[in-house]
Amino acid sequence: MKILLDNCTPGPLRKHLTEHTVIHAAKLGWAALSNGDLLKAAEAEFDLFITCDQNLRYQQNLTGRRIAILELRIQFWPELELLADQVASAVAEMQPGEYRILF
């Protein structure tokens, strides 16, 4: 699976998703894109978008999206690292167009 990490998502999470291709939005030069533009760009190239933005589902119309979205309620890496196995399990279960919240 090809995964895009949002700008607010800790980059070290990549180390725990080794079965997938994981790219951080900033590495693509997408750091300045608004959420709507970022989702549109992500949907063209990625299967899953991982974000820590808890407002995304309220700010964007997610109906009909093909990309799966995983919202993490923990952004602080030392805390998230302890739960990285649970993130990896959720990623493995995600279906196209699904929106899931963890923690």
**Each residue's pLDDT tens digit, 32-45:** 898 889 999 999 99
Report how far residue 66's alpha carbon sits from residue 14's, in angstroms, rounded to the nearest whole number.
22
Q: Which of 2-11, 31-40, 64-73 has the lowest mean pLDDT?
A: 31-40
pLDDT band at 60 (very low <50, low <70, confident <90, very high): confident
Report how far residue 79's alpha carbon sits from residue 4's, in angstroms, rounded to the nearest whole number.
21
- Output the pTM of the full model: 0.93
The contacts of residue 45 (CB under 8 Å, 6+ apart) are 2, 4
